[in-house]
Amino acid sequence: MLKIGHYVDRPGKELGSAQITIPVPEDLETVPGIPQRPSEVDWYSKEYPLESHNVENRAYRQWVDTVTDIRGLRMEHEKLNRESVIAARASGDLEPTARPVEGMDVTLQIKNKARSLGFGEVGITEMNMRYVFAAKKDWVKAELPHAVCVIMEQDYEDTQSAPSGPAESAALDCYRREGAAAVELADFIRGLGYRAQIHSPNDASCAAIPMMVAAGLGQLGANGQLLSPYFGSRARIMMITTDAVVAHDEPIDYGIHAWCQICQVCVNRCPGRALMKDKVWWRGVEKNKLIAKRCRPVMGRYAACGICQKVCPIQKYGMKAVFEHYAATEEVLGKGTDDLEGYTIPGQGYFGPGQLPHFDAEFFDIPQGRLEEYVMERLKEKIKNGTDEEPEQLAQSFGRQMVRAVGRPADFMEELYFNPEADGALPSRSYFQDEPEFEEDL
């Protein structure tokens, strides 16, 4: 039996239910939140500000819908989701609908309202502008300094079937539910006399996990996702920033930072071999770094994958059960079993513990970077490999593609949700329809 270093008490999963107590064995204790070098975090945020995946890797986002096996599912989701995303984009400009009670702390009111709307975890912290994406710095209201961090649970049963249409449908449904709930929560905050800006996870303004960790809602896992007490990586996260009078929560040492180095199930089971066993220091934070160029080809072709989420024991059994088992046995609950580690990849078959699919090098050769960068790389590759086309023909052909690439919005989500041509039709004509220009670009 391992010695328990400390215990963590968390509110019940539903509003009004009994709290749980999580034992954290002494050998899992590190620091609350995540190890950081604040001066490095600050330097990188100034010299190399973060950018959204939807901007920095737009070529990939555009390519995905030419190969995905769940295209119809995503089309339906974007149509259903568009209203709440547009509402979130405009939310920061809305004025309060009442006068605040001077000096009254409204932390409890906001948290109870969030829980009543279906959010399973709620915490409040500083809105850390270091993690705001470069393309969204002008949109984020810096005068709203508090981040209300909320988590909604993705359906348990369907998640266990990842990678699959039902598993991804569970994720998309959760995004829609939390998007609608966030609109209500923001309205509630305005009714208390304060402003509220919704940061939709579907139109991401920042890297939100650092705020979730700072608010005490979990810690960063080896799979690059937030591991929360009840839901593990099956947690869909989002934020609302506000100027309300609230108290901040504190980061918590759940033991996850050390636990993931012991567990390693997601690292061992990743079909793309995209997860690193050892932690590295990256932008001032110690973490297990994801190799995105090995992750995205699998995600794009196989229902957004989700295997690293599915095989996480914290997701499968809950943090309390996993740590109680580890304290009693010094073993990882479910490790080495088909129940936890087994998965089926469409067209590839079933893979049990110790078994992984094989993909050739061509599988990982996919469009990357911004659209204009991808067009330029294709041009350089064509010149390098030799071509029968005259220089003038090359310049004309790739010039047209470059003009189209630069002429599109830099942010993929801008075209997906806010393109005027999409009004009354699909969210983005060029996203879903097989336009000759779209196919030629890719």
Residue 322 CA to residue 12 CA, distance in Å, equals 17
Q: Does residue 163 have a cis bond before it (omega within 30 degrees)?
A: yes
CA atoms within 13 A on the CB side of 70: 24
Each residue's pLDDT tens digit, 345-397: 988 999 999 999 999 999 999 999 998 999 899 888 888 888 778 878 888 88
Give the range among 4-18, 237-251, 274-288, 387-401 with minimum mean pLDDT: 387-401
User: Tokens in use for 268?
Assistant: 């061992």
267 closest CA partner among 234, 291, 296:
291
Q: How far is CA 378 from CA 57, 259, 383, 394, in A?
A: 15, 43, 9, 11
What are the residue ranges spanned by the domains of the chain?
Answer: 1-366, 371-441
Each residue's pLDDT tens digit, 139-164: 999 999 999 999 999 999 999 999 99
Q: Residue 408: what pLDDT?
A: 84
E strand segments, 68-138 = 121-126
Average pLDDT value over all residues in the chain: 92
Q: What is the mean pLDDT of residues 11-31?
A: 95
Which residue has tokens 């968390």? 10
Each residue's pLDDT tens digit, 161-195: 999 999 999 999 999 999 999 999 999 999 999 99
Residue 425 has pLDDT above 80, yes or no: no
Q: Is 386 exposed, middle or buried (0-12, 13-18, 19+ CB in 10 A)?
A: exposed
User: Tokens in use for 148?
Assistant: 């209300």
Each residue's pLDDT tens digit, 411-424: 988 888 887 554 44
Residue 437 has pLDDT above 80, yes or no: no
Q: Residue 426: what pLDDT?
A: 38
